[in-house]
Chains A and B, each alone.
Chain A
Amino acid sequence: MKAYLAVIKDAFRAAIAAKLLYVMLVLITIFLAVLVPLSFRSIPSSRLRQLDIKRPFDLATRLHEASESSLNGGYDAYIWSQLGERTQERVSEYFKPDSDAKPGEDFNRINQGDRMNFFILGDLQRLIKEPNFYDAEVFADLELEEEGKTLVANVKNLQDEEAARLNRLLLEAVFPLELAKSPATGVRFTYLGMDLPFDNLVVTQNELRSFSNLTIPWILDKLVLSIGVLVAILFTANMVPEMLEPGSLNLLLSKPIRRWGLFISKYLGACVFSFLNACLLFIGIWLILGLRLEIWNIAFLMCIPIYVFVFAIYYSVSASVGLIFRSPILSVISALLFWAFCFGIGVSYDLMSSVVESGSPEKLVVDHGEYVKFDGENRAAVLDRESREWGTAFQSPNMDEVPAFVRGLLPGSSILGLVYDTAGERFLGAQVPLRELGNPFSTSRYVITATAKNDWLAEQKMKAPPLTRAVFYDEEGSLIFVTYSGKVYRLMLEEIDQFRPRTTPPERRLAPRNQPESSLKTDEEPRGTMDYYTDISPDSLLAPEEIELIGWDAATKRLVFYGNGRLTLLKWDGNRYEWTSRDRYGLPREIAGRSIAFRGDHVFIGVDEPSIFTVALESGVVTELPWASDADVVSMVSASDGSKAIVLDDAGIVWQIDPTADVVKRVPVRSQGNVRGISAGDAETFWVIDKNSLVHAYRWSDGAYEKSAAGSMSLVQALYNYGVQPLYWVSPKPGEFYRVVTHLAELTTSRDTDEDEPEANSDSPRGSRNEQDRSPWLPVWNGLAFISVMLMLAVIYFERQDF
């Protein structure tokens, strides 16, 4: 042991003799000296952020009501009077009585509402800074807490920041439900004792904590750690090659020590050197953050082992190459190449995973032998039964004008109720028009048809009823439309066949987003929109919150609505839908719904928590099924006779529900865990699509594999699945250690988070869903494995080599 300690000591001695330690010390000291003047001071908290307005529409409503109130007094009216003219106009415009839709229902109104709220926020921020906002007469009766009372008592002698604090407290007291309570103090960053001049650097303690948990580890990782490791690699690159010089190596090898011990000791010696540097650097940063910013986060000290660990990863490459080639230059180059490799793999993985994820299916429709898949961007593809390849579908013919490479990047238009009309050999649905592409709030839809003969291009027909929520196919020759407001309409298929636009289809070009539909030049249809539709709604409409999920049983033409913990059955009486109080079924509690499947006597409801309920309509029995999944329900479909249903959860696992046995069990389908979509298929089979767009059929009766429909995975997908992804998982991730620190930082601080404060803005340099899914410890395990392999290879070489 003494011998190996001597090697470590010698490595360190070499570093000191080469002045490396001093150079590192100077660099670190300069860095810390730049940080030291950064500090903060507590100020009375007054800043109003968007997230502080908890109920913006309620706030707007109160202001609007105040404007209309005949009473001139009152706090609301006073605040209304203090608002700017443009804000007042916006509010009045929004609440104009001739608006027929309710707030929040229509995209344009949402847009309008957002703009209004933005103006209100701006004005309230201005009022908070207004030193003369407080009016003793107006606020005389306002109930303020102790802090507010103290400020009011001193109102004539208040500093600007105190006055702003008082104004904020006044607003909070006037709008207790609409505005979030602010903490008594916030912090403002200073440098060299001077306030930093950016208003958004005034943060709450929570934000400061979030900053320390998320942003600082990221900065440390990307900047300090990367540069520090690079410098350390440069300085230590010569250690191993120097050991291998003739005259030095022979003497070392003649000593009674093991070769592997000699190499590992040299390696550890360099790591000890980097450890001392890291201690200096990170204890310095920790002290500065603690003393100057009062962020005493012990997780920062975790940066020390992590820094050494990252160094160890790079140095395992550098030392191994140094051992084999005996060249310090090659050592450094290899470390740099290795960095480039890791960086390249990381970037390729992120890029390709987002491409593959966006292109991988999210939904499957199998109807009468036609297979349709939708990806996360609503891009649809139909399976060509001959070539077994997927081909683009339901695109507007006008898309031909868009260059092909752009077309591939554009999201698809959402389609409701894609159903297959056997008589017309076509798909039917209600699609968002091209000009609303990418607008998530769009409720404007057109009926489309698409046939194989026409390359599955979407032929646009009449407008769908406003706020259409679901579309179903009635085999007797009609489409059934259900709207958000619970209205039900019927559209006869002949109407679709006979429909002819007067001139060209309304969408000639991509319209600017957010532009009201009415302002676009569209061709008039021959008749008014609703002239095509027959209103078959029940006399008594359900409240919108009771129409969270909509199910349809084609055989009996019955509808079910689920919402607010209640299921309502709508029966078809030949002319319209009807329901009575006997058609209502209550779940044990009010739970938000996720998916519904309805066939025969059984309704299957997947809800949050997650949980699955069955409702037997005949008997009225509601059963909560025991389900072993922790993942949310994504979709449910039931067999045509309603005897069984399958559920897909968010973890990509398919489960089968057997209502007679009250069990939910995993189905032995292929790609369990990677399933992305399910479809009911026919009476015998159901269909499953996996992330690689492969479609397989399984038997309803026992879940056994029946047949395959498609297809081959794309080249990009294959490259990702068999190349980049495995390479990424096994390769070390020295650039991702900030996630470990962040994870630890969150663990250490989550216990004492102040719940009264609004959630801190989570704007952090963290990435996509993919990144969040990865284990925070993955870089550690990968790194350990990589170091072990590299050192093992180097040691084997060293042990076997004749020198």
Chain B
Amino acid sequence: MIANMAIRAEVLEKTYLEGLTRRKKFHALRGISLEVPEGEIFGLLGPNGAGKTTFIKILLGIIRKSGGQATVYDHPAGSREARRQIGYLPEQMRIPKHLTGVTALEYYGALNGLDSREIRERSPGLFEMVGLAGRERDLARKYSKGMVQRLGLAQALLHRPRVLVLDEPTDGLDPQARAGMRKVLERLRDEGVTIFLNSHILQEVELICDRVAILHKGEMRYCGSVGDIGARLRAENGEQETFEVELKLQGKTDQLSRVLEGFSEPQVVQGAEIQVGLRVQDQVELDRLVDRARTHGFSLIHLQRNRVSLEDAFLSIVGGETTESEGAKLS
């Protein structure tokens, strides 16, 4: 069965013209193509100025694309029909200071075309869900940053959107609230809501996202599952697939060199336990290593197979560079 495509971008481009007299072009997006199927949590990553926010703004119709196509459930991105499908939590969410939690939901709900009865019915559950129950009648200006974010999430969910676009949703949240947010998002995914996440916090993305795309200088460098990112990186670099292992052994240290014979540059730290770090070709070689250690009278206390983290992959892709100065304004 072919999944419903919630978001689709094809060769999406955005070029800004800067300066009044000497018009200078700045390419914020250079032919981005991606697809986000319904019910997926999709992470959009990239350093400042990579074009993440530009991409989201095009989806929402806040800015106009310079080329290519983007659709939300087959409606042109930015159209009112497309916007109807989306719940949006902006980065640095700001609620007008004269609004309370309740009146904010009334206001934003009405902007989404809900009538007041629907808003009244849905609001208590949402306040409960985002953890604002009991504070909903306070003025928003008395809310902490995290509470404003949570109220922002509530307003984004009020009209039961099919796509949730979150721009740095956990920014300003404490660890407990982040965990809460994760749970909410997972629940929404289970309910079939597509979540498009833009975040700097890679651990968050790694934990929650099914797939990610990494943008750099307006170009897409990677789009795929989080689990595949290491293999993809090695394949792209032409490297053989190896992995690191970490072992903790107990036994006679004079036998250790015989166990590690044939492994290049093993890292050994000797203490009450002998800690060894080395790279193996594959599982067969690892099994052989374990057998050899047992044969030479070592007890295996701990074995850990280290894989490539998203952060490693991200840094590897963007080469550790940031483009803060050139793109901060546009991100």
| A interface with B by C-beta (< 8 Å) | 2-3, 5-7, 9-10, 13-14, 16-18, 242, 245-248, 250-258, 802-803
Contact = CB atoms under 8 A, between A and B. Distances in A.
B113 interface: yes
Interface of B: 16, 57, 60-64, 80-81, 83-84, 86, 88, 90-99, 103, 106-108, 110-115, 152, 155, 165
A73 B98 CA distance: 87
Contact of A254 (B83, B91, B92, B95): B83
Contacts of A5: 110
27 contacts: A3-B112, A5-B110, A6-B106, A10-B107, A13-B99, A13-B103, A14-B98, A242-B96, A246-B94, A247-B90, A251-B94, A251-B108, A253-B60, A253-B61, A254-B60, A254-B61, A254-B83, A254-B90, A256-B80, A256-B81, A256-B84, A256-B111, A257-B111, A802-B16, A802-B62, A802-B63, A802-B64
A252 B90 CA distance: 10
Contact of B93 (A10, A13, A247, A257): A247
Given A17-B97, A256-B84, A803-B62, 15 more contacts: A2-B115, A6-B107, A13-B98, A247-B92, A248-B94, A248-B96, A250-B57, A250-B60, A251-B88, A251-B108, A251-B152, A252-B111, A255-B108, A256-B80, A802-B62
B107 A246 contact: no
Contacts of B92: 246-247
Contact of A245 (B63, B84, B94): B94
A650 B53 CA distance: 70
A7 B96 CA distance: 12
A268 to B, nearest CB: 15
A251 B152 CA distance: 9
B90 to A, nearest CB: 5
B319 to A, nearest CB: 29
A246 B93 CA distance: 8
Nearest to A3: B111
Given A10-B107, A14-B96, A242-B96, A255 B90 contact: no
Contacts of B114: 2
Contacts of A10: 96, 99, 107
Nearest to B82: A256
The CB with the most chain A CB atoms within 10 A, among B80, B96, B152, is that of B96
Contacts of B90: 247, 250-251, 254
Nearest to B148: A247
B63 A255 contact: no
Q: Which 3 A-B pairs have the closest CB atoms?
A: A17-B98, A6-B110, A247-B94
B7 to A, nearest CB: 14
B112 A255 contact: yes
Contact of B113 (A3, A14, A245, A802): A3
Contacts of B112: 3, 255-256
A255 B111 contact: yes
B248 to A, nearest CB: 50
Nearest to A250: B90
Given A18-B98, A256-B80, A257-B111, A251 B61 contact: no
Nearest to A7: B111
Contact of B88 (A2, A17, A254): A254
A10 B114 CA distance: 16
A248 B165 CA distance: 16
Nearest to B167: A250
Contacts of A258: 80
Nearest to A242: B96
Contacts of B165: 254
Contacts of B106: 6
A71 to B, nearest CB: 88
A247 B97 CA distance: 13
Contact of B83 (A7, A13, A255, A802): A255
Contacts of B107: 6, 9-10
A245 B96 CA distance: 10
Nearest to B110: A6
B139 to A, nearest CB: 8
B113 A2 contact: yes
A256 B78 CA distance: 9
Contacts of B98: 13-14, 16-18
Contacts of B91: 247
The CB with the most chain A CB atoms within 10 A, among B57, B115, B152, is that of B57
Contact of A2 (B57, B64, B99, B110): B110
Nearest to A16: B98
Contacts of A247: 90-94
A316 to B, nearest CB: 23
Nearest to B104: A10
B269 to A, nearest CB: 50
Contacts of B60: 250, 253-254
Contacts of B96: 10, 14, 242, 248
Nearest to A253: B62
Contacts of B110: 2-3, 5-6
Contacts of A18: 98
The CB with the most chain B CB atoms within 10 A, among A10, A252, A254, is that of A254
